[in-house]
C-alpha cells in the first residue's frame, strides 16, 4: 500500500467494502475513503462474484491510484452483503473496523470523528454516527433515523459535546424504538474482537443483518453515539432495504432473539410501548401489501395487549392510509407467503413475551 494512504494514528482502522456489480458507484465510494482526513490503515474490498465489469474497473482504478485497496473475491455469489462483510473483517489487520457499502460515501472527517470518540471512551466496542441522503443532505438517511433525532432520551449521558454514551439497556431500547438508527453499516465503527465475540455478521439475515449486528453490539456493552451525519447514503431502486417486509420480519426476529436472553427489559412499560409500536409497524407493512387480515390482526392484538383504547387502536391501524402505504412500496418486491409467515411467527413470539411479562409483573400501587 502506498505510504500516503496509511493511517499513522495509534488507533488503526480497516475499512471493508462489500461489493457486487457496483459499476455505477463503487469508484466514487473508494475515492471517499482515500479522501479521509485521517486515512484508513487499510482498505479491503470483497467482490461477491460480480457479473458486470465493475471488478475490472476497480482493478484499473486501484492500479492508477497506487494500489491502496486489497481486493478479495468470493468463488460464488452469496446472495447478500453479509458473507463478503464477514470475509473482509476476517482478513483485516486492524483492531477497529468500518464498513462502507459500495454505493455510499464517507464524509471527509468520518474516520477522524470516530477516532476522537474512541479516545474519549476507550472501552467502547462500537461508535455510532448518523447518515444523510446523498442528494438531499438536509434529510436523515431513513425514517427511523428521523425519529431517533427527535428522541431526547439517548442524549442523557454526554461524554463530550455532541457525543453520548448509552449503557446496554438504553442502547437496546433505542434500537427497539428506532430500528437501524445508524441507517446501515457505514454508521458503525466497531472493535474486531467484538465482531468475533458475537459470532460475526449474521449471514442468514438478508436485509436487516446490520440491525441484528447493532443490537448484538448494544447488548454486549452499550454504544457511543456521535450526533452528527458522517456519511451519505445513496437511495436507489437496488437498495436491499427495498425488500421491506423481509426487513420487518428480520428486525422482529433479531429483537425476539435478544429478548430471550434479556426478558427483564420487558418489565419496563416504556420499553413495552416501543416494542408494541415496532410490531404495529410490521402490521402496517403486511396490510399494505394486501394481507389486510394478517396485518390488522397484529395491530388489534398488539394494541389490546398494550392497553390502548379501541379508538387509539384504530388510529394506529390507520386503515385509510393503507392505499397510500401500498403505493409507496409499489416499486418494491412483494413479499412471499413465507415472508408473511416470518412476520407472524416473530410478532407472535414477541406478543407472548409481552403477555408473560405482564402476567408476572408486580401490581402497581
Q: Is the pLDDT of residue 330 over 80?
A: no
More confident residue, 9 or 234: 234
Element (H, E) at 231: strand 223-233
Q: Which three cell numbers stand for residue 274?
A: 416501543
pLDDT of amino acid 334: 73
- Kindly indicate the confidence band of residue 22, based on its pLDDT and cuts at 50, 70 and 90: very high
CATH number of the structural domain spanning residue 158: 3.90.550.10
Q: What sign has the CA pseudo-torsion 228, 203, 239, 219?
A: negative
Q: Domain check: are 254 and 238 in the same one? A: no
Alpha carbon distance 147, 181 (integer Å): 8
Same domain membership, residue 179 and residue 34: yes
Mean pLDDT of the chain: 87
Looking at 242, 269, 287, the residue that finishes a domain is 242
Q: List the single range of 156-170, 194-208, 257-271, 323-337 with lowest mean pLDDT.
A: 323-337
- DSSP-based three-state secondary structure for 106: strand
Same domain, 15 and 55: yes
Taking the C-alpha atoms of residue 17 and residue 31, their distance in angstroms, rounded to an integer, is 12
Q: In this structure, are 42 and 168 located in the same domain?
A: yes
Rounded to the nearest 10°, the torsion over CA 205, 210, 214, 215 is -30
List of E strands, 66-213: 69-73, 96-99, 105-106, 126-133, 136-140, 158-160, 163-166, 188-191
Number of domains in the chain: 2
Q: What share of the chain is helix, strand, coil (3-state, %, to 5)?
A: 50, 15, 30
Does position 162 have pLDDT exceeding 80, yes or no? yes
Pick the more confident residue, 69 or 132: 69
120 and 181 within one domain: yes
pTM: 0.89
What residues contact residue 276 under an 8 Å CB cut-off, 6+ apart?
302, 303, 305, 306, 308, 354
Residue 4 pLDDT = 41
Range of the domain at 281: 244-357
Average pLDDT over residues 69-88: 95
**Whether the predicted pLDDT of 242 surpasses 70:** no
Instruction: Over range 119-135, report the average pLDDT.
Output: 91
Considering only CA atoms, give the Rg of the chain: 21
- Decide which of 192, 211, 242 is a domain's last residue: 242
**Which of the pair, 14 or 132, is modelled with greater confidence?**
14
In a domain, 364, yes or no: no
Asked if residue 6 has pLDDT above 50, the reply is: no
**Are 172 and 74 in a shared domain?**
yes
Q: Which residues pair with 223 in a beta bridge?
A: 166
Mean pLDDT of 236-246: 59
From 5-19, 140-154, 168-182, 314-328, the region with the lowest mean pLDDT: 314-328
Place of cell 429483537: 255
Q: Predicted confidence band at 145 (pLDDT cuts at 50, 70, 90)?
A: confident
Q: Does residue 324 fall inside a structural domain?
A: yes
**46-55, 126-135, 201-210, 353-362: the lowest-pLDDT one:** 353-362
Amino acid at each position: 500500500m502506498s505510504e500516503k494512504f496509511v493511517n499513522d494514528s495509534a488507533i488503526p482502522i480497516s475499512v471493508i467494502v462489500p461489493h457486487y456489480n457496483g459499476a455505477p458507484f463503487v469508484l466514487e465510494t473508494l475515492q471517499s475513503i482515500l479522501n479521509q482526513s485521517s486515512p484508513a490503515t487499510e482498505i479491503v474490498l470483497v467482490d461477491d462474484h460480480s457479473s458486470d465489469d465493475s471488478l475490472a474497473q476497480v482493478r484499473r482504478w486501484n492500479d492508477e491510484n497506487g494500489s491502496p485497496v486489497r481486493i478479495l473475491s468470493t468463488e460464488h455469489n452469496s446472495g447478500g452483503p453479509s458473507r463478503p462483510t464477514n470475509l473482509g473483517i476476517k482478513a483485516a489487520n486492524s483492531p477497529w473496523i468500518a464498513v462502507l457499502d459500495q454505493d455510499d460515501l464517507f464524509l471527509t472527517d468520518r474516520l477522524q470523528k470516530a477516532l476522537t470518540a474512541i479516545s474519549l471512551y476507550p472501552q467502547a466496542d462500537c461508535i455510532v454516527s448518523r447518515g444523510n441522503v446523498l442528494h438531499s443532505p438536509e434529510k436523515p438517511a431513513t425514517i427511523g433515523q428521523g425519529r431517533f433525532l427527535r428522541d431526547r432520551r439517548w442524549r442523557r449521558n454526554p461524554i463530550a459535546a455532541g457525543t453520548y454514551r448509552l449503557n446496554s439497556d438504553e442502547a437496546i431500547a433505542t434500537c427497539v424504538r428506532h430500528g437501524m438508527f445508524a441507517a446501515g453499516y457505514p454508521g458503525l465503527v466497531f472493535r474486531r474482537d467484538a465482531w468475533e465475540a458475537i459470532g460475526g455478521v449474521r449471514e442468514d439475515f438478508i436485509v436487516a443483518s446490520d440491525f441484528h449486528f447493532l443490537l448484538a453490539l448494544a447488548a454486549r456493552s452499550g454504544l457511543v453515539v456521535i450526533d452528527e451525519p458522517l456519511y451519505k447514503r445513496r437511495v436507489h431502486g437496488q437498495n436491499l432495504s427495498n425488500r421491506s417486509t423481509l426487513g420487518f420480519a428480520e428486525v422482529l426476529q433479531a429483537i425476539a432473539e435478544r429478548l430471550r436472553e434479556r426478558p427483564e427489559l420487558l418489565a419496563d412499560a416504556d420499553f413495552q410501548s416501543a416494542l408494541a409500536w415496532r410490531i404495529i409497524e410490521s402490521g402496517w407493512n403486511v396490510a399494505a401489501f394486501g394481507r389486510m387480515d394478517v396485518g390488522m390482526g397484529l395491530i388489534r392484538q398488539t394494541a389490546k395487549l398494550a392497553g390502548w383504547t379501541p379508538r387509539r387502536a384504530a388510529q394506529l391501524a390507520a386503515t385509510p392510509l393503507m392505499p397510500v402505504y401500498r403505493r409507496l412500496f409499489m416499486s418494491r418486491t412483494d413479499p412471499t407467503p413465507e415472508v408473511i409467515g416470518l412476520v407472524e411467527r416473530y410478532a407472535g413470539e414477541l406478543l407472548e413475551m409481552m403477555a408473560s411479562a405482564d402476567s408476572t409483573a408486580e401490581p402497581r400501587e
